[in-house]
Structure 1
Amino acid sequence: MDKKYVYLLHFFVQVLVLLLFLCVKDHLSSLLYPQERSLQTDTDLCSDLLLALVDSADWLLVFQPNERGVYQPIAMVTSDELNRLMPWAFYSLLLQQSAELLRRAACCPGFLHTSVLCYVALLQLFLEGDALTPAGQPDQMEPFRILSHAKQFLLRVIPQTPPTALSSSRLRQLESQCADLDREVASALSVHLDPHSLSPEMDFL
C-alpha cells in the first residue's frame, strides 16, 4: 500500500477520533444537563462516528483518560468531572448500538480490556453516587440500568474473546481490579481467558 495513502488514512482516523471525543463530551453534557441539550442528537452523532471507527482501536482511547497517546492534549482541556464520567459515556453509548456494530467492536484489539476497565470505573462511580442521572432522562439512561446491562454485556463478550486477546499480566490486572467489586466478572475472566483454567466442560454462560 502506498505510504502516502497510509498516512492520509491514519490522519483521517485521527480526525474522526477527535470528533468522537468532542461528541462524547456533548453526549455526557446531555446526560448531565438534559434541559440544555438534545440527548438523541448527540447520541446519533456519536453512533455515526462509532460506525466509521469501530474497526480501529484508536476510538477506545477516547474512554481511557490515562492512555490517550496522541489524543492526550485535548483531554487536558477537559474537566476532571467529564474525564471521570467517560466510563458512563462508554456504556450508555455502546449499549444503544446494533448487534452488528457490537460484534465488530468486540473483535477490535483492546476492546475487552477497555470494557472491563470502564465497567470497574462505572461500578465505582455508582457505589460513590457520582453517576446519578438528572430527572427527565429516559429509563434506559438510569445508572443502575446501565450498570446492569453493562455487566450482562461483559459476561457475553468474555466467553467469545480468545485467550490470546489479553496478555497474562493484563489478565491478572483485570482480575485483581474486579475481585473486590464484582467476583462474577473476575471469575468469568479467569475461567475463559486463563489458559491454565480453561476446560471444555466449563461453560460460564
Structure 2
Amino acid sequence: MESKNYHEDLSHIRSMMERSSRFISLSGLSGVVAGLAAIIGAVYVYFVFKREGIDYFDGDRNIFGPSLVKELIFIGTAILVVAILSGYLFTAHKSKKNGLKIWDATTKRLLVTFAVPLVTGGVFCLGLLYHHLFVFVAPATLIFYGLALVSAERYTLTDVKYLGYCQIILGLISLFVLGWGLLFWTIGFGVLHVVYGMIMHIKYK
C-alpha cells in the first residue's frame, strides 16, 4: 500500500514539474486548422498563377512581376493570421479546460525561444525578396520555421521537434529542386501540419 502511494506521489510530482516547466496546452486541432488553411491558400495561389498565364506544373521557370509578388505576400500573410488566430483560440480553450494559465513565465520563454529563429528567418526572407531571389524564399521559410520548432521544444511538447525536423529536411531538399516552392510549402505547412495536428489531438486529447 505504501509502495503504491509512493509511486502515486512521484507521478504527481513529475506531473507538477512538467506543468511548471513546459507549455503543455498546445492543441492538435490548431495544427489541423493551420494545415488546412495552408492547403486552401496553396490551391488559391495555383489558380492565381493560372489567371496570370502561368502553368505551375509545366516545369518552366517563371518570372513573377512585382504586382504578383505583392499578391502572393498578401495571401501568405492572410494564411499566417488564420494559423495564429486558430492556434490561440484552440490553445486558450484547451488551457481553460485543463485549468491551466495560457500566459505565464513558461509561455514567455516558449515565445522568445520560438521567435528568435522565426524573426531571423523572416528578415532573411525579406532580404531575399528585396534582391528578387524569390526562388529561395520557400526553402528559407521551411528551414527557419523548422529551426524555431526544434528550439521551442524545450518549453513545450517533445513531439514538436519531430515536426521541426521534417520541416528542416523538406526545406533542405527544396534547395536542390528550386522552382517548386508552392509544392513544398503545401507539403510542409499544409500536409505535415494536418498529420501532426491529428496525431497530437489523438495522443493528448
**More helix, by proportion:** 2
The TM-score with structure 1 as length reference comes to 0.29
The TM-score with structure 2 as length reference comes to 0.29
Q: Looking at both structures, which has the greater relative contact order when contacts are Cα pairs under 8 Å and sequence separation is at least 6?
A: 2
Between structure 1 and structure 2, the one with the greater Rg is: 2
